[in-house]
Structure 1
Amino acid sequence: MHRLFAELEPSVTVTEQNLADRVRYILHSNIFNDAELERLRREAIPSSNENATAEDAVPQVAEQLAHVDIAVNTPVVADSNDDGTFAQKLEIEQIRSTLEEAIMETRSTPLENRPRLPRIALSKRNRAVVKALNPMLVTYLEASRDLCDTDSILFGAALAVCRIIGVKVSTAGRATGQSSAIPAWRKRIGECITKVRALIGRLICFKSGNNRPRIVLTVRMAFAGTNVSLYQPDIMQKLTERIDDLNQRIAAWGKRIQRYTERSTRFNQNRLFQSDQKRLYESLERPMASGTGPAPNQADTVTFWRGLWSEPVNHSEGSWTEVVASQCASITPMDPIIITPDDVAEAVRRAPNWKSPGLHGLRHYWLKGFVVCHTVFSRQFQEALNQKSLQSFFTTGITHLVLKDQDTTDLSKYRPITHMTILKENIMA
């Protein structure tokens, strides 16, 4: 469609996305009826059959509408029972262009700056898109230099799938911001409580005789939609009633937070009971420490742990090591390990779809969907095993500090837990 537009209007500069957005707006806003759309089409693209009847024009317009929907990446499923219907109707060239753009973008982006890929619905449409991109990856994977390059290709393919199906992808890198354990609903209620408390404070100021313009404006807004005037005789009584009403709202929100927290705790305990009963009983006997003091400075934290991890240490080996070495000399070495594509597929199959991926951001769902990568992974893992070396990509992770005591300022009271890439945790294991 963009190529045809460029031929018809060479003086107008427009991108493919802008053109697709305008077409979608025209079609969904019903500015033109079917007959007008057909007339415009005939004026733009003269047809050899100028004597076509109006009855024949309606199916052609419907066909064009379907084609335009496909061009702007709008999911169109003719038969929900056919997994391949959506993939067959997609514009192959558009998919290939999106894939190439995403892979180039991923290759030039550091691991810590990659966008966060969201979970996608396990629907037939989404599986069909993954299936459509699967054969296109063969060319890129055959030219892959190493495991890091293969991971970048697969991440780019996953990013392309998200863009094709219209899923919003966060552009902020995972390492630039710290994730919060506070749920969204609690944040919303907390913001409401903060705003109401500020409003109560200004109402009290006005009640005590503060008539600054900002205070007066806030009081007017507090009584907006009512018949209360700031100059009526019983304004002090109205202020008292309004303050009491806002205090009751804060109390209700506090009860709601308590009720939601208790429900969430019960849900998490029930789920943990089904998966790991031992861990549940340990958490009930020894509740997790939760300090309320200030968090340690980030620079001090980095300096403290770098001194423990980065400083070289000279270990003195005792005589027992020679005894152990002589005892192990008679042990028959194990047979050489041969990693096959089936081994990679089985390791990926057992893993959860949406397990936290680590720094590289690629979840198991994509490794399961892009099956063409199993052969490449088996070959590259075999090479790494034979060479007895791994890239820094596999030894870089995200470290979380878990508090062990109530003292939040003592850096030695934190337990570091490092989350490595899932490729190392599951496939190499």
Structure 2
Amino acid sequence: MRSKIFDDADLERLRREAIPSLNESAMARDTAPHATDQHLHVEAAMDLPVVVDSNDDEIVSHELEQMRSILDEAILETRSTPLENRPRLPRIPLSKRNRAVVRALNPMLVTYLEASRDLCETDSILFGAAVAVCRIIVAKIPMAGRATTQSSAIPAWRKRIEDRIVKARALIGRLTSFRSGNNKPRIVRTVRMAFAATNISLSQPDITQKLTERIDELKQKIAAWGKRIRRFTQRSRRFNQNRLFQSDQKRLYKSLERPKVCGAGQGPDQVDIIAFWRGLWSEPVNHS
């Protein structure tokens, strides 16, 4: 088609030979002019031209019956799956082939959407259609239930800082081992890499002092990174608590509750309780 080898008549003949049911659908259109809109949409989808993907040279012909079976299976699975166990759908690339798949599946949803009874069922139909698109274009779908565990995962910034701390501690161990007299080739190679950006040579007489200074510097960095993690964690927790206070105060107070501790001994005396609280509340205090 790109090289213009065949004219329009030859392309139409080849298309009809590849899809024999196209002639029957054309005859059905002529004999039944008052067919439903859904059938017209399906026939229009069957009349889609052969699409060439922009990334490869392979010509793909969409098989509508197979796509319909995949759609039916995906919608059936979505209806029987709880909302919290649905997989996290990936972002599909915008290629010609993917757009053609979506255009072919859109008219197939008319029957499902017309029979939908409420918004939850409509949501299941649309999500099932999205899953069917991912399966047709062979997109990788994560395992079910990942969306529920995503919020409890370690943040990316904390993972990066923790990786720096692990590498710094490993380097401190190598430097300490070399300072103690370990001259294995792997240890010596690591020490040379640690001083690669400086003018320090391992044959210098004050190499022990340089090693001590380098170890102290790494320890200070580890301490600073640890404080940064604690500071960022407190800031993130404070931000989430402030946002939760504005949206759902009951949920915030419930998260701040401590587990109940049942004492084995007797409770305090009523007289002591009254005396304690009278000392706090009976005296007037002027606040600004």
TM-score by length of 2: 0.50
- TM-score w.r.t. length of structure 1: 0.36
> Larger % of helix: which?
2
- The structure number with the bigger radius of gyration is 2
